């Protein structure tokens, strides 16, 4: 088996093991714990008072604009890492290119700040 495949297999096994750990411990606890559900017990706790309305009430997700910015910069990070690995080999040419690239994005961030989209009211 190639080491490449083993890498994936190990990672997958560890992630699956996290799920197994939860199942095993809950399974053992199932033997010991009481199960006596009453209607009152199964109401949503919320803050101690009887909940009003439905639990999935509409919420204003404020940061969708942050989300857009995040995607931009995260993609930038993906581009920066390959360059960072061989920054020394690429020399001044690579450095100037990546600095121009970063400058463009910083300019965008600066514009967003000046425009006030990052302010919460």
Partner 1 sequence: MSLIADIMANFWLGLIIKLLIVALLVPVIGMIIGFAEMKLSAKMQNRVGPYYAGGRWGWAQLIADGLKFFQKEDVIPADADRQVFKLAPALVLAATVALVVVIPFGPDMAFRNLELGLFYALAISSLSTIGVLVAGWSSANKYSLIGSLRAAGQLIAYELPLVLSVVGVVILAGTMNLDGIVQAQIASGIPYVVPQFVGFVVFFIAALAELSRIPFDMPVAESELVMGYMTEYTGFRFLFFYLAEFVNMFTMSAIAATLFLGGYHFPGLSGDLATVLGPVVLIAKSFLLVFMMLWFRWTFPRFREDQLQSMAWKVLVPVALANIAVTAILKVVI
Residues 90-119 that bind partner 1 (CB under 8 A): 90-92, 94-95, 98-99, 102, 106, 109, 113, 118-119
Cα end-to-end span (Å), the chain: 57
Helix residue ranges, H only, the chain: 3-32, 64-85, 87-115
Query: By CB under 8 A, what part of segment 18-47 binds partner 1?
Result: 18-19, 21-23, 25-26, 28-30, 32-37, 39, 41-47
Q: How many residues make contact with partner 1 (CB under 8 A)? A: 73
Please state the closest distance from residue 48 (CB atom) to partner 1, in A.
8
Torsion of CA 52, 54, 56, 60, to 10 degrees: -50
Query: By CB under 8 A, what part of segment 57-76 binds partner 1?
Result: 57, 59, 61-63, 66-67, 69-70, 73-74
What is the token pair recorded at 48? Answer: 């101690």
């Amino acid at each position: 088996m190639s080491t490449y495949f083993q890498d994936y297999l190990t990672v997958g096994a560890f992630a699956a093991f996290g799920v197994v750990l939860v199942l095993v411990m809950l399974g053992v606890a199932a033997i010991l714990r009481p199960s006596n559900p009453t209607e009152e017990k199964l109401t949503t706790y919320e803050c101690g008072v009887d909940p009003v309305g439905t639990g999935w009430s509409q919420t204003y997700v404020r940061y969708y604009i942050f989300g857009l910015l995040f995607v931009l910069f995260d993609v930038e990070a993906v581009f920066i890492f390959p360059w960072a690995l061989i920054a020394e080999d690429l020399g001044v040419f690579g450095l100037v290119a990546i600095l121009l690239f970063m400058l463009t994005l910083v300019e965008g961030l600066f514009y967003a700040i000046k425009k006030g989209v990052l302010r919460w009211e």
